[in-house]
A and B are shown apart, each in its own frame.
With several copies, the nearest count.
Chain A
Amino acid sequence: MRVLGLPVLLVLAWWAYSAVADNFYVPDPLRVVRAFADTWFGQRLLDDALPSVGRLAAGYVVATVIGVGLGVPIGLSARLRATAEPVLEFFRAIPPPVLVPLIMLLVGIDDSMKVLVIVSGCVWPILLNTVEGVRALDEVLADTCRMYGISRRHLILRGASPQIMAGLRQALSVGIILMVISEMFASSSGLGFTIVLFQRGFQIAEMWSGILLLGLLGFALSTAFRWLERRILFWHWSNRA
């Protein structure tokens, strides 16, 4: 009841507003729901939603491999860290969307461009969190490993995993944003592209339905992520029952 109360209230407020204000840009919820069903239940789901999600997954995985792969050595070596830090800080500070034109120049306009745009944004939170996580490995635990001749591979990834997961979580929201942005340039399919197409064609209800779909996608992904995180970090204090 409580869980549903506020959303219901919000939808009602929307309804009331659309009925009273008769704003061209705020269609009533029923029309949006109808547009949602018409637009997304069918071919569009395969042609636009799936490729989007596929590119997001690909970019996310590549970013994870690069981020963790580079983050571990950088976190372990103080010298490497000192060398790389300013460069990393700089690249991280560049807003990923401005890289889109550059990436387009360098690799073209096909799917690899979109995946690369997603990678270029997702990799930083993962990389920096991995570096921090590895660097902040518990000293007592590290000493324990040395004393008992336990190889450090038992320690590094597991010990840094809470931080790495935090990075992955940030990367997920960055990834969704970049998925949309990459599709707003040089695209012929995808959720971002479709929404922009609706906007250009002034199909307002359809456009809202796309925004709604993106919301649902973001919500589903973050729910799935939380589930996964609970499984992986079952031992961490934040997940102890």
Chain B
Amino acid sequence: MLEISGLKKEYGGREAVRELTFSLDRGELVCVVGPSGCGKTTLLRCVAGLLPATAGTVSVAGERVTGPPPNMAVVFQEYGRSLFPWMTVRQNVELPLKERRVPRERRERLVFDALAAVSLDDVPGAYPWQLSGGMQQRVAIARAIAYEPQVLLMDEPFAAVDAQTRAELEDLILALWQRLGTTTLFVTHDIDEAVYLGQRVVVLSASPTVVLEDLKIDLPAERDQLSTRALPRFADLRGHVYAQIQRAKGAR
């Protein structure tokens, strides 16, 4: 569904990403982790078609990406800046559908369902700045869901929310993904989160970046904040990724 091959990115002659090659099958949820500044955001922006790559290609459903592809949605880390502050929650979620000329009735259905899925159907008339951080990020997620993308990209979406909200949002993402089967690329720097969420975890090296490891997460499909995280296998995987990243940092 999503293929990244030989991706390279230089900023003004300085190599940030050296060579990335990996792919996602339809309906897969893959997490990408790596040390800070290794190029996770760069990778994601290249995949989203927001940034031209220096070399290599990205393709979605066989189509080469040159600009933002039509069936892709992104949830940015900076939720506070990705919502339109002068629009209500419902207007924010609705806007992309309006621009796509989705008929009114279907549009309302989609918006309502998406807000319900993130438990925000009681505040459609509120403005983003009247909501807590976690709620704002849920609005951004609702907007992505309502858009019905084939591919969903998320860039450290929970980096700025507190731990309890974060756990809730993680479970929300898992539940939605299981229900809708959207191909999802999830970027994070939190190893626990990556192991908890992903079917696979792609570990990146420090910049100039390559793929250090593409790790299959062999935990039960049904996950739970307490029991899954308490599994010895979880600690194993966690420790393994942690050691990898330490190695990556050390090698820098």
Complex: A in contact with B (CB within 8 Å): yes
In the complex, B234 has a CB within 8 A of chain A: no
A144 touches B129 (CB 8 A): no
Q: Given A154-B95, A235-B129, verify A147-B48 contact (CB < 8 Å).
A: yes
A156 to chain B, nearest CB (A): 12
Residues of A contacting B76 in the complex (Cβ-Cβ under 8 angstroms): 140, 143-144
B86 touches A235 (CB 8 A): yes
Q: Given A140-B78, A154-B95, A240-B129, verify A146-B85 contact (CB < 8 Å).
A: no
| Residues 70-84 of chain B, each 1 if its beta carbon lies under 8 Å from chain A, else 0 | 101110101001101
Residues of A contacting B158 in the complex (Cβ-Cβ under 8 angstroms): none
A138 touches B81 (CB 8 A): yes
Residues of B contacting A150 in the complex (Cβ-Cβ under 8 angstroms): 95-96, 99
In the complex, A227 has a CB within 8 A of chain B: no
Residues of A contacting B67 in the complex (Cβ-Cβ under 8 angstroms): 146
| Residues 183-227 of chain B, each 1 if its beta carbon lies under 8 Å from chain A, else 0 | 000000000000000000000000000000000000000000000
Q: Given A140-B78, A140-B82, A237-B129, verify A147-B99 contact (CB < 8 Å).
A: no
CA separation between A237 and B80, bound complex, in Å?
12
Task: Give the contacting residue for A158; candidates B50, B74, B86, B129; CB below 8 A.
Answer: B86
Interface positions, chain B 45-96, Cβ under 8 Å from A, are 45, 48, 50, 67-68, 70, 72-74, 76, 78, 81-82, 84-86, 95-96
In the complex, A41 has a CB within 8 A of chain B: no
A231 to chain B, nearest CB (A): 12
In the complex, A230 has a CB within 8 A of chain B: no
What is the size category of the interface that chain A forms with chain B? 10 to 19
A120 to chain B, nearest CB (A): 32
In the complex, B100 has a CB within 8 A of chain A: yes
B95 touches A147 (CB 8 A): no
Task: Give the contacting residue for B147; candidates A140, A141, A148, A237; CB below 8 A.
Answer: A148
A146 touches B68 (CB 8 A): yes
In the complex, B143 has a CB within 8 A of chain A: yes
Residues of B contacting A140 in the complex (Cβ-Cβ under 8 angstroms): 76, 78, 81-82
CA separation between A155 and B96, bound complex, in Å?
13
Q: Given A140-B78, A146-B50, A235-B129, verify A158-B84 contact (CB < 8 Å).
A: yes
In the complex, B242 has a CB within 8 A of chain A: no
**Which of B85, B99, B127 is most buried by chain A, counting CB atoms within 10 A of its CB?**
B85
A164 to chain B, nearest CB (A): 13
B147 to chain A, nearest CB (A): 6
Residues of B contacting A151 in the complex (Cβ-Cβ under 8 angstroms): 99
A28 to chain B, nearest CB (A): 48
A171 to chain B, nearest CB (A): 22
Task: Give the contacting residue for B82; candidates A144, A235, A236, A237; CB below 8 A.
Answer: A144
In the complex, A201 has a CB within 8 A of chain B: no
A5 to chain B, nearest CB (A): 28
Task: Give the contacting residue for A141; candidates B68, B81, B127; CB below 8 A.
Answer: B81
Closest B residue to A142 using CB positions: B50
Residues of A contacting B129 in the complex (Cβ-Cβ under 8 angstroms): 235, 237, 240
CA separation between A234 and B130, bound complex, in Å?
12
A148 touches B143 (CB 8 A): yes
B95 touches A148 (CB 8 A): yes
Residues of B contacting A138 in the complex (Cβ-Cβ under 8 angstroms): 81
A94 to chain B, nearest CB (A): 36
CA separation between A149 and B149, bound complex, in Å?
12
**Which of B86, B100, B129 is most buried by chain A, counting CB atoms within 10 A of its CB?**
B86
Task: Give the contacting residue for A235; candidates B70, B85, B95, B99; CB below 8 A.
Answer: B85
Q: Can you list 9 residue pairs at the A/B interface with Cβ under 8 Å?
A: A141-B81, A141-B82, A141-B84, A146-B68, A147-B73, A148-B99, A149-B68, A149-B70, A154-B95
Among all A-B residue pairs, the 6 with the closest Cβ atoms: A148-B96, A140-B81, A235-B86, A235-B85, A147-B74, A144-B82
Residues of B near any A CB (own CB < 8 A): 45, 48, 50, 67-68, 70, 72-74, 76, 78, 81-82, 84-86, 95-96, 99-100, 127, 129, 143, 147
